[in-house]
Every structure is written in C-alpha cells, then in structure tokens.
Amino acid sequence: MTIHEQQSEIQQEAKLFFSRFLLEWYQGQKRDLPWRRHRNPYYIWISEIMLQQTRVDTVIPYFNRFIERFPTVESLADAPEEEVLKCWEGLGYYSRARNLQHAAKQVKEQYGGQVPNDRDAVFGLKGVGPYTAGAILSIAFNRPEPAVDGNVMRVLSRYFLIEDDIAKGPTRVAMERLAAELIPEGEASHFNQALMELGALVCTPKSPRCLPCPVMEHCAARLAGCETSLPVKTKAKPPRPEER
C-alpha cells in the first residue's frame, strides 16, 4: 500500500467515525426546540430564516408567536406587510421578513401553498441561499443535501484540519462537498441537525469543549493542538445599517 493509499484509508475511517458517533451523540443530547417537534417544511423554513444572525434563545418566542399568527404559507402570503414586520420587530434585519413574505407568495402562487421538495425550486425562493435551501431539503424532506453555515465550517475545519479561509467561495464549495460525503444514507435530517448542534454546543468558537465531544478521538486539530486557531477566516466588512 502506498503512502497516498494509507492516507486515503485513514481519511475514510475518520469520516465514518465522525458520522457514526455524531449521530449517536445527537440522539441523546439534542435540544428540545419547537421547530424540531415537526417535520413541517414551512416551520423549518421560518426557523432557519429567523436563526440567521440571531441566537436560538432569542428566536424561540418569536418563532412561536409567528407561527401562531401565520400558521400556513397562505396566511403569511396574504397578510399585510406591516403586520408581518410587527411580528418580526426585535429580530432586526427586516429584509429577512420581507423576503420571507415574498417567497411565501411564490410558494402560494407557483406550488399551491406547499413548500417544494425540489432543489431548484427551493433555491428559486426569495431570500433562500445555499445553506437555507440545504436545511429545508435535508431536515424537512430528508434529502441528502449539505447545510453548511459558520458552525458547520468551524466543526469541519477543526476535525479535518482544514486551514483554508472559510470566508472564500472555493472553501465553502469544498466544505459543502465534504459535508455531503459525510451524510449517512437515509439520515440527512438527523445528521445535518447533529452537525449544527455540535457546533452550537460543543465545538464553539473561542473555547471548544473537547472532552465531551463525541468525535474528539479523530479530531485532527485537537491532535495537532491547534483547535482554537481554526477556522481561518478573514474579517468581513460590517453590514450597513438597515431601516425598517
């Protein structure tokens, strides 16, 4: 066996270990979040838009109030914009709410009020980027689509000792490809949520909790002693202030 073949075999073992033990950990440690109590793609979509740039604890009461007021795609599509913005008040980034309502109208008019189970259709919704599309398709429909956000890139950077700048497009594409390879057959919904959960609760930005981490045994960054220096990320320009 060549050195390249040995390295490839080790890498494959690390991938299999990661997927297996991450899923086992998630089943016992996952948080009870309101959008996880359903496989309703509309609820999952709402939660993912709200969670952009907003903490989970902040989102929970907003999510509950929002779906109580707008329980279906049609109710959101037909609501006055001011009412939607009022329900959003306090979450900030009001363009998210406007895009969400615009997309709800698309779903009502083009797909009969049912969130589509189709990659191109979901990508075509206003305000839905690669991460949100992957989250909707994988979590709601169990489609083997990657859902790669900052939490996920941090986990993958550390576990596989990836030192490429995660702020750059080619790195994100490579991360999405890697994340897709890790999804066990038939487990896309749970696996992607597990990966997000690990980044949120254990593999945190400044002080990763390596000891209780279910995949620490094969974490390349931990073994190299550089887990706190990853991921590599250049600073983005601050967002412009947004008026309602």
pLDDT (0 to 100) of residue 235: 77
For Cα atoms 126, 127, 131, give the angle at the middle one, nearest 5 degrees.
Answer: 125
Which residue among 114, 141, 168 closes a domain? 141
Q: Does 48 qualify as catalytic in the annotation? A: yes
In this predicted model, what pLDDT tens digit does every residue of 15-57 receive, in sequence order?
A: 999 999 999 999 999 999 999 998 899 999 999 999 998 999 9
Task: Give percent above pLDDT 70 in the chain.
Answer: 92
Which residue among 107, 141, 175 closes a domain? 141
Give residue 67's pLDDT band: very low, low, confident or very high (50, 70, 90).
very high
Tell me: pLDDT of 181 over 50.
yes
Based on the fold, state whether residues 157 and 137 are members of the same structural domain.
no
pLDDT (0 to 100) of residue 68: 97
Q: Which two tokens stand for residue 203?
A: 């593999």
Give residue 2's pLDDT band: very low, low, confident or very high (50, 70, 90).
very low
| Domains held by the chain: number | 2
Considering 9, 13, 48, 197, which one is annotated as catalytic?
48
In this structure, which amino acid lies at residue 197?
A: E
pLDDT (0 to 100) of residue 9: 62
- Separation between Cα atoms, residue 228 and residue 225, nearest integer Å: 8
User: Model's pTM, two decimal places?
Assistant: 0.90
CB 146 within 8 A of CB 173: no
The alpha carbon of residue 82 and the mean position of all alpha carbons in its chain are separated, in whole angstroms, by: 28
Instruction: Please indicate, yes or no, if residue 159 is contained in any of the structural domains.
Output: yes
Rounded-to-5 percentages of helix, strand, coil across the chain? 65, 0, 35
Which residue among 109, 126, 141 closes a domain? 141
Instruction: Please indicate, yes or no, if residue 196 is contained in any of the structural domains.
Output: yes
In this predicted model, what pLDDT tens digit does every residue of 160-170 receive, in sequence order?
A: 999 999 999 99
